[in-house]
Structure 1
Amino acid sequence: MKTTTALTFGFAAALTAAAQAENRIDTIRPDAPELAAHGDYPVGVRTLELSDPGRIDVLNVTDDAIPTYDRPLTVELWYPAAAGTTPGTTYDTVIRDGQTATQLQGMATRDAAPASGETFPVIVISHGYPGNRYLMSHLGENLASKGYVTVSIDHTDSTYSDQTVFGSTLLNRPHDQRFVLDQMGDPEVIGADLAAITDATTAGLIGYSMGGYGALIYGGAGVTKASTEYTWGTPRGLLEANMAGTESHAKLTDDPRLKAVIAIGPWGRNTGFWDAEGMKGFSRPLMLIAGSVDDVSIYNAMRMIFDETSGTTRHLLTFNHANHNAAAPMPAPAESYQPVETLEFVPFEHYADAVWDTVRMNNITQHFATAFMDLHVKGDADKATYFDLVPNSDDSAVSVNEDGTPKPDNSQWQGFPPRTAKGLRFETKQAGE
C-alpha cells in the first residue's frame, strides 16, 4: 500500500510539474464552479497596436510645459472564432522583472477566422501596476469562448517592461480604458472581419488593482481634490481631469456603452483618492472581488467602496485569507519560481497567494464574471440566480430530493459542486443602501 501511494503521489507531482512547465492559462479544475467551463465557441486571438493622439505626456511635464504625444497602447484581442477552428496557441512575454522571457499556452488560435452570423459585446480588461495584457489572459480566453470580444490592454508606463512614474498611471487608466473601447467598432483598426462581429455599443469592464482604480473612475467615481495635490501623484494638478464634479470627468463617464464593471482588488480608497461623496457618482452595476487580508489595496478600504457606491446595486465577493493576488493573476509561470537579480522578492510572489490555489481562484472568478456579464451586458435574466447566495459559503448546505431537485432548505451556492463552496463570502447591497 505504501508503495502504491508513493507511486501515485509521484505521478501526480510529475503532472503538476508538467503543467507548470507548460505555463497553461486555460486550466479548469474538475471541482470548478459551473460557469467556469469554457463556452461553445472556439477562440481566436490577435495583437493590435493602437495610438491615442493628443494625450498628455506626463513623463515630460515641467513647470513651464504640458506636452502631448500619441500614446501607444498594445492590446490582445480574443474573439469567438469560426466553427472547426483548431485550438491552441502560445504567448511570448516576460515575467514580473520585465526581462525574463516566458511562454504561455492557451486555447486560442492566432489570427483565426472570426465566427459569423451574429455580433458579440465587448469586455475590456485592465491590469495592475505593474502588469501586462497577459496577466488576466485566462479571463480573456474564457469569456471569448462564451460569446464576447475581449480586449486586454498593455497600459503604457505601467507594464513590466516600461514601468515608470506613478502619476502617469493615475491620470491615464480610465482614459486608456475608454479609448480602447472606442477602437473596438472601427474596421480600420480591428479589421473588417472582426468589426462585423463586434457590438461595440455594449460593453463591460474588468480591472485589477490600478485597473480597478481606473474602472471605478470610468464608472462614475470621481477622485477627491486632495488626491490631485499629492506631491507623489500626477504633477501640476492634472489629475483634476478625473475629479468628481468636473466637466472633464462628467464627459469621461457619460458613456452608455459601459453596462457593468468588475473591480478586483481596486486600489485608491486606502490613500484618499475617493470619499463617500465621490463614490456616490458610480452608476453601473458593480462587482467587487477582494482578499480579506489584502495589504496593498487594504481590505477595509475596499469594504468602504462597497458601502459607499450607493448609486448602484453592487456585490462583494471575498476570498477569506487571500491577499492582493486574489482572483485576478494567471498561474505563476515556471520562470517566476527562481530569484532574479533586479527584484528584492521572488517574482512568483507577484502572481500567487499563500493560501489559495491560483487556478481555483481563476475558476471562481471565471464563474462569477460569466454570470455577472451575462446578466448585465447580455441581459440574460436567468443568471441572477447565481447571486442569490447565503453570505457565508461555509454555511451553505446541499438539501435535495431523491430525484436531485432542491428542497426548500437547500442553500448550496448556485453552480458550486457539493462540498466546494468554502472559504468565500458574498454580499449584496441595493442602490440606495
Structure 2
Amino acid sequence: SGKSDRAIKVEVWYPAVATARDGASSSTLGQSASTIARAQYGAALPRAKQTGDKAEFFHTGIAIRDALPVATQRFPLVLVSHGFGGWGTFMTYLTENLASKGYMVIAIDHQDAAFTDGASFALSFGSTIVHRARDQQFVLDIFANLGKNKDTAFADLAAAIDVNSIAVIGYSMGGFGALATAGAGYDAKSPTFKDIPAAIMAPQMAGNRLYDEAFAARRANIKALVLMAPWGAQLPNRAWTSSALQNIKAPTLIISGDEDDIVNYKGGIQHLFQAMTSSARHLLVFQQARHNVGGNPAPVEALADFSTREYFDEPVWRKDRLNAINQHFVTAFLDLHLKGMVTRAAYLDTPTVKASEAKWPVAFGQNTSSATATAEGESAQYWQGFHRRWALGLEMHRLRAGDVSK
C-alpha cells in the first residue's frame, strides 16, 4: 500500500585496515589462509520462494567482516541493486572485487516477497516495481547523510565515503530502479503500472514535481551508471518515454546477452542504448548469452536441481569467465568516471566492435604465454587486458552523448 514501514538490510564492503584482529593480511601477520575469518554469505535457494522448503546455501568470500575502514581517504560510493527474487549478496564476485580496488560498495537486500502461484507472483512483482527505485534513493540518502548523524557508531565508515562521487549498478529489476534513480522518471501511460494505484507511483513518475525535486540534489552526484540486463525497456512494458531517458546525463555502461529473452535484447536493450542520447554510453554484449549475466555462479547446492541452476547459470557461457569479464569492464568504467583515471578509457574504447575481429597475430607453434594485450606493440589492435586468442564472443558498442545510432 505504500503506507507501512519497511526495514531494508544492506551489505557494505570497503577498503579496510589490515590488523591482527581480522587477519586481513596473512603475509605480513604470518597467518595461514585457513586461520583468516572470511565472510560467509548465505541465502535461500530461489526455489524456496515457490516451495517454502527453506533450502539454503552458503559460500565463503574474501572479505573480513567488521574490519576497520581505511580512514585516511574517501572512496567513491557504489550502490548495487539486485534483480527480482535476488538478495544482497547475489553479486559478491563484483562487490568484493570493487571494494578491493578502492570503492565503498553498498548492496541492498530488497527482500522481494515470496510467491507460490500466479496471484502471489503478481503481488510480489508489483511490489518490486513500486519499491526498487525508492529503496535505492532511500539508501543513497542514508549513506550520504551518515556523517551528519550524531550516532558515532558509523563514524569511521562515514569518514571513508565520498558522497559527491556515486555510481549505481542495477541488475534486471535493479536496473529498472536505477534508471529512475539516475533521472529517467517512469511513464504513467506504460502498461507496467496499470494495476498499481497512481498515487503510489506518482513520486517516481516523469513530470511529477515530487520526482523532479525530491532526489534532484543527490542525482547530480551520480557520476556513473551500470545497467546489467535492465528490465523495463521492452514492449509492451516499456516504462520510459524517450524524452525521460534523455534526462540521464551520467555515463552509462549497459551489459547484456544478445539472446536475452527476459528483457528482449533487440527491442529493449538496444532501444535503451540508442535513446539515452544525453549520456556517453557503452554496450557490452555477451554473444549467445541470455539473462543471467549479473549474478554469482551457481552454488553447489543448486547443481542437482535444473530449475534452480537455471536461475544462476548460462547455457553457453562459463560463469567464472563471464564474471571475470564483468569485473574487468566495470572496474575500467568506474575508474574512468569516478576516479578520473583517463588511461582506463582504452579498455572500454575497444579497437573493434566484435572481439573476434581484433588482431594480435600468433605464429604456428608460438608460445602465447600469459601476457595480456596493451595499448602498444603488436597487441595494440587487440582488446586491452585480454589474453591472446581469448577475446571471443563479445561485442563493445559505443555512442557519445548526442549520438543517436552507430
Which bracket does the TM-score occupy, shorter chain normalised? 0.7 to 0.9
Is the contact made by 1:225 and 1:243 (CA closer than 8 Å) also made in structure 2?
yes
Establish whether residue 100 from structure 1 lines up as the match of residue 55 from structure 2. yes
What's 1:217 paired with? 180
Contact 2:114/2:124 (<8 A) preserved: no
After TM superposition, the runs of 4+ consecutive aligned structure 1 residues lying more than 6 A away are 159-163
Moved more, 142-151 or 409-418: 409-418
Counterpart-to-counterpart distance in 2, 1:210 and 1:410: 38
Q: Out of 411, 422, 426, which is 2:392 matched to?
A: 422
**Would you say 1:179 and 2:149 are equivalent positions?**
no
**SS at 1:384 equivalent:** helix
CA distance, structure 2, for counterparts of residue 178 and residue 167 of structure 1? 18
- The CA RMSD over aligned residues, in Å, is 2.4
Choose which of 257, 267, 279 in structure 2 pairs with 1:291.
Answer: 257
User: Structure 2: how far apart are the matches of 1:264 and 1:189?
Assistant: 36
**Partners of 1:189 and 1:331 in 2: how far apart?**
37
Deviation at 1:414, TM superposition (A): 1.1
Structure-1 residue corresponding to 2:98: 143
Q: Give the whole-Å Cα distance in 2 for the aligned partners of 1:285 and 1:151.
A: 20
How far did residue 70 of structure 1 move? 2.2
Structure 1 residue aligned with 2:33: none
Counterpart position of 2:83 = 128
Alpha-carbon spacing, 1:357–1:189, altered in 2? closer, same or farther (3 Å): farther
Q: Which moved more, 1:68-77 or 1:404-413?
A: 404-413
SS of 1:71's equivalent?
coil
Residue 269 of structure 1 contacts residue 302 of structure 1 at CA under 8 Å; is this kept in 2? yes
The equivalent residue for 2:344 is: 383
Q: 1:237 to 1:165 in 2, by over 3 A?
A: farther
Aligned runs of 1:82-121 on 2, under 5 Å? 82-84=17-19, 85-86=23-24, 88-98=38-48, 99-121=54-76
Query: 1:151 and 1:119 mapped to 2: Cα distance?
Result: 15
Residue deviations 1:378-403 (CA, integer Å, cap 9, x gap): 12112111112111000011169xx9
Q: Structure 1 residue 280 and structure 2 residue 246: aligned?
A: yes
Structure 1 segments unaligned to the other structure (5+ residues): 1-56, 59-67, 340-344
Report the Cα offset of residue 330 of structure 1. Answer: 0.1
After superposing the two structures, state which structure 1 stretch, 167-176 or 181-190, moved more. Answer: 181-190
Paired residues of 2:228 and 2:256 also in contact (CA < 8 A): yes
Q: Distance in 1 between matches of 2:104 and 2:388?
A: 32
| Structure 2 contact 281–400 (Cα < 8 Å) conserved | yes
Query: Gaps spanning 5+ residues in structure 2: where?
Result: 25-35, 49-53, 363-370
**CA distance, structure 2, for counterparts of residue 239 and residue 189 of structure 1:** 35
Aligned partner (choices 114, 121, 129) of residue 170 of structure 1: 129
Aligned 1:293-372 pairs, distance under 5 A: 293-300=259-266, 301-326=268-293, 328-339=294-305, 346-372=307-333
Shift of 1:372: 0.7
Question: Which of 398, 402, 405 is residue 432 of structure 1 equivalent to?
Answer: 402
Q: Once the two structures are superposed, what CA deviation does each residue of 1:137-195 show, in whole Å capped at 9, x if it has no partner?
A: 11110000001110110114357999753222112211211211222241538611211
- Which whole-Å CA distance do the structure 2 matches of 1:229 and 1:110 have between them? 40
Q: Please list the CA deviations of residues 94-132 of structure 1 after superposition, one character each: whole Å capped at 9, or x if unmatched.
A: 221242111111100111122231111110000000100
Equivalent residues, number: 359
Corresponding letter in the other structure for 2:211? H
Residue 7 (structure 1) aligns with: none
CA distance in 1, matches of 2:124, 2:333: 34
Report the TM-score when normalising by structure 2. 0.83
Distance verdict in 2 for CA 1:382–1:405, change over 3 Å:
closer
User: Cα 1:189–1:315, aligned 2, differ >3 Å: closer, same or farther?
Assistant: farther
Shift of 1:203: 1.1
Q: Take 2:180 and 2:271, find their aligned partners in 1: how far apart are those partners?
A: 15
Q: Percent identity?
A: 36
Whole-angstrom distance in 1 between the partners of 2:262 and 2:276: 21
> Partner residue of 1:256?
220
